[in-house]
Homo-oligomer: A and B are copies of this chain.
């Protein structure tokens, strides 16, 4: 079974990302198509890009970059649980993408985006421009969450609107299909 990393992309204090990520990871485990792992960028603790060499060389001098490289290398597919700041991608996610290179190649990515009226979709659209440079395959199927703060319980857990579980299933199905199809293109495995 292929490995899916559900990446909680926001790292700011008081973020809602973990609640949304936990909901989605549980949904993905129910789906059954992947070995599901929740990855929190707070735990990854990457500073802004501080490697002396280009990420395309794969030569990393810092332990934090090496750890992140090993994490991304191990995954076959990703779901980014993504907030939107100023109509754009969060710097924490952009930096996590930019710190590596070939580790991302030929892996599909889906988005669980959240925001107010925009449901984070402007951030997703911008992220698609970046992942395209990294030879990733962004799924058309996505899980956009409108007005996320209205869907948090008193204990802080996320309660999805009725249409979201079906959207999650469609995205997971497409991630399984595309991860299988693209795997032969990945270096050392083709």
Contact = CB atoms under 8 A, between A and B. Distances in A.
Interface of A: 11-14, 47-52, 85-92, 94-95, 97-98, 122, 126, 129-130, 132-134
A129 B88 contact: yes
Given A48-B48, A48-B91, 7 more contacts: A11-B49, A12-B49, A13-B51, A14-B52, A87-B130, A90-B98, A126-B129
Contacts of A130: 86-88
A132 B86 CA distance: 9
A89 B89 CA distance: 10
Contact of A91 (B12, B51, B91): B91
B86 A134 contact: yes
A133 B98 contact: no
A86 B87 CA distance: 19
Given A49-B11, A51-B12, A89 B94 contact: yes
Contacts of A91: 48-49, 91-92, 94-95, 98
A156 to B, nearest CB: 15
A47 B12 CA distance: 11
Nearest to A84: B133
A134 to B, nearest CB: 6
A183 to B, nearest CB: 23
Nearest to A48: B92
